[in-house]
Chain A
Amino acid sequence: MSDLTSLTLEAAVEGLKAKRFSSLELTQAHIQAMESGRALNAYVLETPDKALSMARAADARIASGAAGPLEGVPLGIKDLFCTEGVRTTACSKILGDFKPTYESTVTTQLWRDGAVMLGKLNLDEFAMGSSNETSAFGPVANPWRAAGSNQTLTPGGSSGGSAAAVAADLCLGATGTDTGGSIRQPAAFTGTVGIKPTYGRCSRWGIVAFASSLDQAGPIAKTVEDAAILLRSMSGHDPKDSTSLPVEVPNFPSFVGRSVKGLRIGVPAEYSAPGMPAEIQALWDQGVAWLKDAGCEIMPVSLPHTKYALPTYYIVAPAEASSNLARYDGMRYGIRAEGKTLTDVYELTRAEGFGEEVQRRILIGAYVLSAGYYDAYYLKAQKVRRRIADDFAKAFETVDALLTPTTPSSAFALGAKDTMDPVTMYLNDVFTVTANLAGLPAMSLPAGLDSQGLPLGLQLIGRPLEEGTLFSVAGALEKAADFRAKPRAWWRG
């Protein structure tokens, strides 16, 4: 396989600028990698013709000296972002062959900055899942396997296709979305870097909605620097999203490599979940030691409402989802089932179109919002959510960022979910949902391998709009961890 696919995004931008290779060559190499990586099921739609024409246009702009910050760089796009004229499914049957007549704001900005689209990436249906197994297109395979094993593992979810494609060098970077950990958990499971920025940093316009008060877009990338470059292009105020923040976008890449000396890093006691594997605790301790060496001051902090974050999330997210997904009625787009009455058509369309987990969450959402239960569940959850956000606000009075593990385990086997009850599956998000509830920026980066040879991630959580601090701290951790392991390329057959 070509060396061009093993480049970082940062190195590819440099190489293109120096004319060591063209975007066409770079894109062709990635199209080839994408085609020989089909066993991973990371892409649900390949758009090679579009990629080649975008690459030619990028080469022309490079030649004329009008290159943007991502000029000529091939990316994968999570199939939750609407792409004009290109099938967008949210990996649900209900959207059928939906071809948006508009482009999401985030992807519009990526193309504005010169990026090239390779195709659409697999995800859990409507981003509801933590293993990519609820996708109507079938699960993604994690490029990583345990040492000496041929068992297929989950890449995590919901941005499983994005994480797998980046880990297997099937693109230079990818878009993801994160409602409860859907960027950070797959990043941790695949040895990649993922950041969910502050709520409101990226426009949600044109992203298929799951839970609107929690959903945020962000990149999955090979390095901290690459994530910073991508996030800079993806961010920015958009009048078409009323919750988009009217603030300047900092030069995120300039924060990577800055000294972290004197920064105060909080270690929340409540993230030591009982039964947490010793390896996860050891990795966390190692992260603390690295940051101490880099000159950070480590401080214990308390986030007393942490244990209530997951049950709060599983009221707020399904409630918002049941409301958002009411639009799929078979009338204006997507599939329509046959039925005798209008109600029949609605009910049968939705029963046929939505998968099991999505239906389960719609039912939970409709239940907690229904007359007589609204105050007991939904209103209560909104109040506990405030408590959780207040815990963070208090901690951030004394610390600049928090360090935690990203997940309570490394990647688990595909199919393991069939033997788990839904609540056990939800526990995967125990360390990540808190940042969504509080709207805070949070990032995962690879920090080591477990005893099976599988990647593990560390998570950093920051103050609102202080992604820059996260990039600086992540840069220091990345340097100390020196994570260079790559999965063995079994998928090439």
Chain B
Amino acid sequence: MAIDAATVRKVARLARLRAPEERLEPLAQELSAIINWIEQLGEVDVEGVEPMTSAVHVKLPMREDVVTEGGDPAKVLANAPLARDNFFVVPKVVE
């Protein structure tokens, strides 16, 4: 399965990565090489095999649905690129 420049553009958009036009073709070639190499998994018979989603055989623990920590906006905002009045300042989303 070869990946073309249009697919790279689409995937880059999905991943919110700006890929310059001139990089699309080289990226398509690199990604195709990796995907072609991955295609060898097609040889493996996985009929009836349960997908492995975790390396541990432990049921996910549940805890009480209560607030355990919080109430410290200064800490939450400490690394914000832009903050004002205990809020993150972000670019305008809705016109």
Q: Which residues of A contact B (CB under 8 A)?
A: 98-99, 101, 199-200, 213-214, 239, 242-243, 245-246, 305, 307-308, 311-312, 314-315, 322, 326, 329-336, 339, 341-348, 350-351, 354, 359-360, 362-367, 370, 377, 379-387, 389, 421-423, 436-439
* CB-contacts of B31-47 with A (<8 A): 31, 33-35, 37-38, 40-44, 46
Pairwise interchain contact A363-B11, C-beta atoms closer than 8 A: yes
Pairwise interchain contact A350-B54, C-beta atoms closer than 8 A: no
Pairwise interchain contact B15-A422, C-beta atoms closer than 8 A: no
Bound Cα distance from A480 to B58, whole angstroms? 38
- Shortest B51–chain A CB gap in Å is 4
* CB-contacts of B62-95 with A (<8 A): 63, 75-76, 78-82, 88, 90-93
Pairwise interchain contact A350-B17, C-beta atoms closer than 8 A: yes
A-B contact list, 16 entries, CB within 8 Å: A213-B53, A213-B54, A305-B44, A314-B37, A339-B91, A359-B17, A363-B15, A363-B27, A367-B31, A370-B14, A381-B41, A383-B50, A386-B46, A387-B49, A389-B55, A422-B34
Bound Cα distance from A214 to B52, whole angstroms? 12
Pairwise interchain contact B31-A308, C-beta atoms closer than 8 A: no
Cβ contacts under 8 Å, A334 to chain B: 79, 81
Pairwise interchain contact A423-B34, C-beta atoms closer than 8 A: yes
Pairwise interchain contact A342-B56, C-beta atoms closer than 8 A: no
Pairwise interchain contact A366-B11, C-beta atoms closer than 8 A: yes
Q: A367-B3, A370-B11 are in contact. Are A200 and B56 (CB under 8 A)?
A: yes
Pairwise interchain contact A336-B79, C-beta atoms closer than 8 A: no
- Shortest A128–chain B CB gap in Å is 13
- Shortest A125–chain B CB gap in Å is 14
Which one, A101, A199, A305, A341, contacts B91 given CB within 8 A? Answer: A341
Which one, A335, A348, A365, contacts B18 given CB within 8 A? Answer: A348
Additional A-B contact list (20), CB under 8 Å, known A365-B15, A366-B11: A101-B79, A213-B54, A311-B41, A314-B34, A332-B80, A334-B79, A339-B91, A342-B91, A350-B15, A351-B18, A359-B17, A360-B31, A364-B31, A367-B11, A385-B51, A385-B52, A386-B52, A389-B55, A438-B55, A439-B56
Bound Cα distance from A347 to B61, whole angstroms? 36
Overall SS of chain B's interface: loop
Q: Which 8 A-B pairs have the closest CB atoms?
A: A439-B55, A382-B51, A333-B79, A383-B46, A347-B18, A199-B55, A336-B81, A386-B52
Q: A199-B55, A332-B88, A341-B91 are in contact. Are A311 and B37 (CB under 8 A)?
A: yes
Cβ contacts under 8 Å, A348 to chain B: 18
Which one, A311, A345, A389, contacts B38 given CB within 8 A? Answer: A311
Cβ contacts under 8 Å, A341 to chain B: 91
B19 at interface, CB cutoff 8 A: yes
Cβ contacts under 8 Å, B41 to chain A: 308, 311-312, 315, 380-381, 384
The chain B residue with its CB closest to the CB of A318 is B34
Interface size on B, residues (CB 8 A): 50
Cβ contacts under 8 Å, B58 to chain A: 200, 243, 245-246
Cβ contacts under 8 Å, B17 to chain A: 347, 350-351, 354, 359, 362-363
Cβ contacts under 8 Å, B75 to chain A: 101
Cβ contacts under 8 Å, B8 to chain A: 363
Q: A213-B54, A239-B63, A342-B92 are in contact. Are A315 and B38 (CB under 8 A)?
A: yes
- Shortest B85–chain A CB gap in Å is 16
Cβ contacts under 8 Å, B82 to chain A: 336
Pairwise interchain contact A367-B88, C-beta atoms closer than 8 A: no
Pairwise interchain contact B81-A314, C-beta atoms closer than 8 A: no
Bound Cα distance from A213 to B55, whole angstroms? 7
Bound Cα distance from A354 to B19, whole angstroms? 12
Which one, A246, A346, A384, A422, contacts B16 given CB within 8 A? Answer: A346
Pairwise interchain contact B79-A383, C-beta atoms closer than 8 A: no
Q: Which of B18, B61, B90 has the most CB of A within 10 A?
A: B18
Which one, B14, B33, B79, contacts A98 given CB within 8 A? Answer: B79
Q: A239-B61, A383-B51, A386-B49 are in contact. Are A363 and B40 (CB under 8 A)?
A: no
Bound Cα distance from A380 to B81, whole angstroms? 40
Pairwise interchain contact B18-A364, C-beta atoms closer than 8 A: no
Pairwise interchain contact B16-A423, C-beta atoms closer than 8 A: no
Bound Cα distance from A381 to B44, whole angstroms? 10
- Shortest B35–chain A CB gap in Å is 7
Bound Cα distance from A370 to B8, whole angstroms? 12
Pairwise interchain contact A347-B11, C-beta atoms closer than 8 A: no
Q: Which of B17, B61, B79 has the most CB of A within 10 A?
A: B17
Bound Cα distance from A351 to B41, whole angstroms? 31
Pairwise interchain contact B52-A389, C-beta atoms closer than 8 A: yes
